[in-house]
C-alpha cells in the first residue's frame, strides 16, 4: 500500500465550490481507499491504496465532479513526493505562509518560466512537477497570473507541513 494525498482544485475557496470534508471522505471510502483522513477544509485527503496515481486521479475526479455537479481537478502525490516538495522550497528565507506550491499533473517546459514576464514582487521557480511562488505581499493581494496554474492546485508550505505531520511522514 502506498500513502497518498489527493489535492482537490478550487474546493471551498471564497465560499464557492463547497464540498464538505465528510462527503470527500465518504467518496474515498466508497472507492475502497484505506485509512482515509481529510486535512483542513480545502480538499486535502490522505489515504492508502495499491492503485496507480493515474487511476486514482481519474476515479476521484469523476466522483468529485459527480458530487459537485461541476468539473473538479485532482492532483495526486505520494507522501515521499510531498516531503520532497517541501524540502525543495527555493525560498527558505521567506515566511512559509507566503510561499505557494502549485502542484501540476506534469512538469512544464522550462521555457514557460523563462518567458514569464513578472510585473509584481513575486518570484517563481519550478522544480519537477511543482512551481514555487513567493508572494511577499500575500497570495490574496497578488496580481500574478500564471496560465499553466489552471491545470494545478496551490497549497502554501504551512499546509503541506500539516499534511505531512498528519500522515506521520
Residue 130: predicted pLDDT = 95
Distance CA 129, CA 20 (A): 28
Instruction: Output DSSP code: residue 129.
Output: T
Residue 148: predicted pLDDT = 84
Is the predicted pLDDT of residue 105 greater than 80, yes or no?
yes
Task: Using a cut of 0.85, tell me whether the model's pTM lies above it.
Answer: yes
SS3 95: coil
Is the separation of the CB atoms in 100 and 154 below 8 Å?
Answer: yes
Residue 14: predicted pLDDT = 53
47-80 pLDDT, tens per residue?
999 999 999 999 999 999 898 888 889 999 999 9
Instruction: Output DSSP code: residue 167.
Output: H
Torsion of CA 26, 66, 58, 51, to 10 degrees: 20
What's the average model confidence in pLDDT over 77-90? 97
109-162 pLDDT, tens per residue?
887 777 777 788 999 999 999 999 999 999 888 888 888 888 899 999 999 999
Domains and CATH numbers, the chain: 2-79 (3.30.70.1280), 83-156+163-167 (3.30.70)
Residue 169: predicted pLDDT = 53
Residue 161: predicted pLDDT = 96
Residue 111: predicted pLDDT = 78
Is the predicted pLDDT of residue 15 greater than 80, yes or no?
no
Amino acid at each position: 500500500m502506498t500513502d497518498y494525498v489527493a489535492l482537490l482544485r478550487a474546493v471551498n475557496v471564497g465560499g464557492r465550490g463547497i464540498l464538505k470534508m465528510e462527503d470527500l471522505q465518504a467518496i474515498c471510502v466508497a472507492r475502497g481507499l484505506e485509512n482515509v483522513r481529510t486535512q483542513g477544509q480545502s480538499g486535502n485527503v490522505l489515504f492508502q491504496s495499491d492503485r496507480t496515481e493515474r487511476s486514482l486521479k481519474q476515479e476521484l475526479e469523476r466522483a468529485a465532479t459527480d458530487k459537485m455537479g461541476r468539473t473538479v481537478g485532482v492532483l495526486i502525490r505520494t507522501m515521499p513526493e510531498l516531503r520532497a516538495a517541501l524540502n525543495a522550497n527555493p525560498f527558505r528565507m521567506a515566511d512559509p505562509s507566503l510561499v505557494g506550491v502549485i502542484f501540476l499533473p506534469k512538469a512544464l517546459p522550462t521555457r514557460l518560466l523563462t518567458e514569464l514576464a513578472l510585473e509584481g514582487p513575486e518570484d517563481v521557480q519550478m522544480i519537477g512537477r511543482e512551481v514555487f511562488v513567493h508572494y511577499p505581499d500575500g497570495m490574496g493581494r497578488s496580481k500574478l497570473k500564471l496560465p499553466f496554474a489552471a491545470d494545478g492546485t496551490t497549497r502554501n508550505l504551512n499546509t503541506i507541513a500539516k499534511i505531512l505531520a498528519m500522515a506521520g511522514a
